[in-house]
């Protein structure tokens, strides 16, 4: 007996969502323009001469909203990511999938791509007609125009992504003069290609099958969470306006199917809550317009909550949201404290492991150290390094004056010598780096000094 083969790929018809008009559609467009504007503009904005956001990997410094972070500060970036995740949890518990419907990059870029598609190929009926039409001059021209627009936009998106790692003012001129580096070009094309594929082709498939958040966000839901629902009691029995029926035998739904046509994930919200629903409210807008035109009150499909549907008040403050909110506040407070306590001067001292020590002709001893000094403040400073033992005796360590620009990291080899023949074989030294022009900017590190065979 043969077992029937199971396909892991579910072939689906291509969706051609109709454009929705209304208050939520305007909100979605505003969110899209705001978020895209932020994404494309941020790499061009500077604050006090420093880029607002630049993850400068070659120089190992990260400019984030006025802060200059060094590799030692990466825990702050990780902390920021935890805050972002907690913000999403709190937001989901309060407002369901509003993030998916209005602010998720997949939604935002799909909206932008759909806008370009409409511009070139027309509204839903025209696009469906074009899909069914045989290949000819009109179809080639429109498809070609759409893909050209998508490709240019994707390339711009990919370049902007790389501009978060390479200064935008260097990257864009280098790209257009053919002087861009290989890696920058690779990542621009790769990210552009990913945008083109995700927003142009995969679209709702990403939300349905690829997004992990869509799978686990329901665990943050409770009966007070905001969601989109169809009022079945009021809507059913649904009947088309063309069908004659007396008012008693007819629900408010006129079965126009517009709520299905506008849905970007292709579901019918009248069949109840479904995990594919991203709460974009396109169906709310279109149904409100239908209700206006048939003289019925709006809200047959609406934002609501399970509690409200049961006739109870929706509570914003409840144990789940309070717990998430408290955790969120603690995380944010912790972040502020860590930033406030963080020293803008970083100092690392490592003894050279390849040589134990060197005896000088006059009996003094020399050890070699690698010193890393990073200026994470917003201004340039001049630094000096002093070395003393625990008794306060100065050791000879002529680093000279080291000038560091904001965000600059310098690594230097520093020979340290005793002033006289040392008595101990191992001494603990205190390295102090201090700014000559800002004495409060100082940092200390301990390191061992060897002057004989290790005990």
Q: Which stretch binds ligand SF4 (CB under 6 A): 128-136, 247-255, 347-355, 386-394?
A: 247-255
When asked if residue 206 is in the footprint of ligand SF4 (CB under 6 A), the reply is no
| Site size with ligand SF4, rule: CB under 6 A | 30
Tokens of 243: 């069908």
Among 114, 120, 199, 282, binds ligand SF4 (CB under 6 A): 282
416: nearest Cα among 453, 373, 375, 366:
366
Among 32, 226, 228, 349, binds ligand SF4 (CB under 6 A): 228
Contacts (Cβ under 8 Å, ≥6 apart) of 385: 371, 373, 397, 399, 402, 414, 431, 432, 433
Q: Which stretch binds ligand SF4 (CB under 6 A): 132-140, 254-262, 309-317, 384-392?
A: 254-262
Contact between residue 70 and residue 60 where contact means Cβ atoms under 8 Å apart: yes
When asked if residue 279 is in the footprint of ligand SF4 (CB under 6 A), the reply is yes
Tell me: cis bond preceding 237? Omega within 30 of 0 counts. Answer: yes
Within residues 291-320, the interface with ligand SF4 by CB under 6 A covers: 300-301
**Closest separation in Å from C-beta 259 to ligand SF4:** 3
First to last CA, the chain: 77
When asked if residue 283 is in the footprint of ligand SF4 (CB under 6 A), the reply is yes
Q: Which stretch binds ligand SF4 (CB under 6 A): 179-187, 191-199, 279-287, 336-344?
A: 279-287
**Closest separation in Å from C-beta 262 to ligand SF4:** 6
Tokens of 83: 């805050």
Q: Is 130 helix (H, G, I), strand (E, B) or coil?
A: helix
Among 54, 90, 120, 287, binds ligand SF4 (CB under 6 A): 287
When asked if residue 229 is in the footprint of ligand SF4 (CB under 6 A), the reply is no
Q: Which stretch binds ligand SF4 (CB under 6 A): 5-13, 215-223, 283-291, 389-397?
A: 283-291
When asked if residue 254 is in the footprint of ligand SF4 (CB under 6 A), the reply is yes
**Closest separation in Å from C-beta 125 to ligand SF4:** 17
When asked if residue 162 is in the footprint of ligand SF4 (CB under 6 A), the reply is no
Q: Beta strands of 234-363 (E only): which ranges?
A: 301-304, 345-351, 358-359
Tokens of 115: 């806008």
Q: Is 31 helix (H, G, I), strand (E, B) or coil?
A: helix
**Closest separation in Å from C-beta 301 to ligand SF4:** 6
The secondary structure of 168-193 as a DSSP string is HHHHHHHHHTT---HHHHHHHHHHHH
CA atoms lying within 13 Å on the CB side of residue 35: 18
When asked if residue 441 is in the footprint of ligand SF4 (CB under 6 A), the reply is no
Rounded Cα gap, residues 83 and 196, in angstroms: 30
Rounded Cα gap, residues 197 and 202, in angstroms: 6
Tell me: cis bond preceding 279? Omega within 30 of 0 counts. Answer: no
What single DSSP character describes residue 173?
H
Phi, psi angles (nearest 5°) of residue 68: -110, 115
* 24 vs 357 by CB, closer to ligand SF4: 24
When asked if residue 267 is in the footprint of ligand SF4 (CB under 6 A), the reply is yes
The contact mask relative to ligand SF4 for 327-366 (x = CB under 6 A, - = no) is: ----------------------------------------
When asked if residue 155 is in the footprint of ligand SF4 (CB under 6 A), the reply is no
Contact between residue 246 and residue 263 where contact means Cβ atoms under 8 Å apart: no
When asked if residue 257 is in the footprint of ligand SF4 (CB under 6 A), the reply is yes
When asked if residue 281 is in the footprint of ligand SF4 (CB under 6 A), the reply is yes
* 90 vs 267 by CB, closer to ligand SF4: 267
* 157 vs 252 by CB, closer to ligand SF4: 252
Q: Which residues bind ligand SF4 (CB under 6 A)?
A: 228, 230, 235, 238, 253-259, 262-265, 267, 269-270, 277-283, 286-287, 290, 300-301
């Amino acid at each position: 007996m043969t077992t029937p083969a199971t396909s892991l790929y579910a072939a689906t018809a291509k969706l051609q969502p109709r454009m929705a008009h209304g208050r939520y559609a305007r909100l979605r467009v505003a969110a899209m323009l705001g978020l895209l504007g932020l994404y494309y503009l941020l790499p061009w904005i500077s604050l006090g001469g420093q880029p607002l956001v630049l993850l400068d990997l070659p120089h190992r410094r990260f400019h984030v909203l006025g802060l200059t972070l060094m590799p030692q500060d990466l825990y702050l970036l990780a902390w920021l990511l935890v805050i972002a995740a907690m913000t999403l949890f709190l937001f989901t518990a309060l407002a369901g999938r509003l993030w998916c419907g209005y602010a998720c990059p997949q939604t935002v870029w799909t909206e932008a791509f759909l806008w370009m598609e409409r511009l070139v190929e027309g509204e839903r009926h025209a696009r469906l007609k074009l899909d069914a039409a045989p290949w000819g001059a009109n179809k080639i021209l429109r498809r070609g125009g759409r893909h050209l627009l998508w490709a240019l936009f994707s390339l711009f998106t990919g370049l902007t992504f790389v501009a978060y790692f390479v200064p935008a003012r260097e990257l864009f001129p280098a790209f257009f003069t053919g002087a861009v580096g290989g890696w920058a070009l690779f990542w621009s094309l790769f990210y552009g290609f990913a945008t083109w594929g995700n927003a142009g082709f995969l679209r709702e498939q990403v939300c349905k099958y690829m997004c992990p958040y869509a799978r686990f966000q329901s665990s943050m839901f409770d009966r007070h969470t905001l969601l989109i629902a169809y009022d079945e009691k009021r809507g059913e029995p649904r009947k088309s306006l063309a069908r004659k029926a007396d008012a008693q035998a007819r629900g408010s739904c006129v079965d126009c199917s517009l709520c299905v046509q506008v849905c970007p994930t292709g579901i019918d919200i009248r069949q109840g809550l479904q995990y594919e629903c991203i709460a974009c409210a396109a169906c709310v807008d279109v149904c409100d317009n239908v209700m206006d035109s048939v003289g019925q009150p709006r809200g047959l499909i609406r934002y609501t909550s399970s509690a409200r549907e049961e006739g109870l008040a929706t509570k914003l403050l409840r144990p789940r949201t309070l717990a998430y909110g408290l955790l969120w506040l603690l995380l944010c407070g912790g972040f502020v404290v860590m930033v406030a306590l963080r020293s803008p001067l970083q100092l690392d001292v490592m003894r050279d492991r390849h040589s134990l020590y060197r005896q000088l002709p006059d009996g003094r001893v020399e050890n070699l150290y690698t010193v890393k000094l990073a200026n994470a403040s917003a201004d340039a400073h001049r630094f000096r390094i002093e070395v003393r033992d625990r008794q306060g005796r100065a050791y000879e360590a002529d680093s000279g004056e080291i000038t560091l620009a904001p965000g600059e990291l310098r690594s230097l080899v520093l020979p340290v010598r005793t002033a006289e023949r040392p008595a101990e074989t191992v001494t603990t030294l205190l390295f102090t780096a201090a700014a000559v022009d800002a004495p409060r900017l100082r940092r200390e590190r301990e390191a061992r000094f060897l002057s004989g065979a290790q005990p």
